[in-house]
């Protein structure tokens, strides 16, 4: 399966990979595109910097969607989460729903059922709110990069950064999910050459405890909106892009 996955280069970038050239790693694709566009290497165009921008813009879009749906205060995801762009760390969260992610960081003031029951959700925004909260991060990100909001961000970037920088950004943004799914984690070494493991123990150590809390919070929601979830799945193909532009 991993061998079949290829990072996509959209037609508007105007670059084709020669048939005799094998580019497997994401970094190889990135470097080839940067050199083909004749972009001089600087710290600002380091792949890590662009990944942080992509991640930041996505979660800002998600937060803006949530804020439009409720009358209560729901906090943003921590900045430490946004700025951590390591492969090992982010791959752990891709299959989380937004609701699970927000609960993980203790950002939800009430369970979803309570928000809906107590009318903390703006009238006629209930279904949109549930759609965002119960969507997986990887699925929602793929919808985001097809949205009007993303297209506006790209157009604004062209004016500020120029077409070449924008095309490089687009490549990273539109391959971000596959980057975290299929790239191998980087290994850092300290001065004496030993492999320095990434410190993500708090995720795995607290996982069982979190799952108990999360399960308790969402059990009622699963019971009460089960019928709606099934209905949404049936209508997914027709409503998919409606939700995208309605929110993003």
d(CA 9, CA 15): 7
Q: pLDDT of 11-65, one tens digit each?
A: 888 888 777 777 778 998 999 999 999 998 888 789 999 999 999 999 999 999 9
Residue-level pLDDT at 184: 80
d(CA 177, CA 138): 6
Q: Is the pLDDT of residue 74 over 90?
A: yes
What's the mean per-residue pLDDT of the chain? Answer: 80
Q: Residue ranges per domain, the chain?
A: 2-185+204-247
38 vs 10, more confident: 38
**H runs (alpha helix) in 72-133:** 79-83, 87-91, 98-104, 112-117, 126-133
Closest listed residue to residue 34, CA positions, set 24, 44, 21: 44
Q: Is the pLDDT of residue 109 over 60?
A: yes
Asked if 41 and 48 touch (Cβ cutoff 8 Å), the reply is no
Q: pLDDT of 166-181, one tens digit each?
A: 999 999 999 999 999 9
Cβ neighbors of 68 (< 8 A, separation 6 or more) are 122, 125, 247
Bridge partners for 5 per DSSP: none
Residue-level pLDDT at 183: 87
Whole-prediction pTM: 0.76
């Amino acid at each position: 399966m991993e061998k079949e996955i290829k990072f996509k280069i959209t037609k508007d970038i105007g670059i084709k990979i020669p048939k005799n050239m094998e580019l497997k790693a994401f970094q190889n694709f990135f470097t080839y595109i940067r050199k083909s566009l004749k972009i001089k290497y600087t710290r600002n165009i380091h792949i890590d910097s662009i990944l942080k921008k992509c991640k930041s813009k996505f979660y800002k879009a998600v937060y803006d969607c949530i804020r439009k749906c409720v009358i209560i205060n729901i906090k943003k995801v921590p900045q430490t989460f946004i700025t951590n762009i390591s492969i090992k760390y982010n791959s752990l969260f891709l299959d989380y729903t937004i609701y699970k992610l927000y609960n993980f960081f203790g950002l939800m003031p009430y369970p979803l059922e309570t928000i809906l029951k107590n009318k903390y959700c703006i009238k006629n925004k209930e279904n949109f709110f549930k759609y965002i909260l119960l969507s997986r991060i990887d699925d929602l990100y793929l919808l985001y990069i097809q949205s009007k909001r993303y297209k506006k961000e790209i157009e604004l970037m062209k004016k500020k950064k120029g077409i070449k920088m924008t095309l490089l950004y687009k490549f990273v943004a539109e391959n971000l999910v596959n980057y975290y799914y299929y790239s191998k984690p980087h290994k850092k070494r300290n001065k004496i050459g030993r492999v320095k493991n990434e410190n993500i123990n708090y995720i795995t150590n607290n996982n069982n405890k979190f799952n108990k809390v999360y399960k308790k919070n969402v059990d009622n929601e699963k019971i009460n909106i089960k019928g709606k979830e099934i209905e949404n799945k049936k209508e997914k193909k027709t409503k998919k892009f409606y939700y995208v532009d309605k929110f993003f």
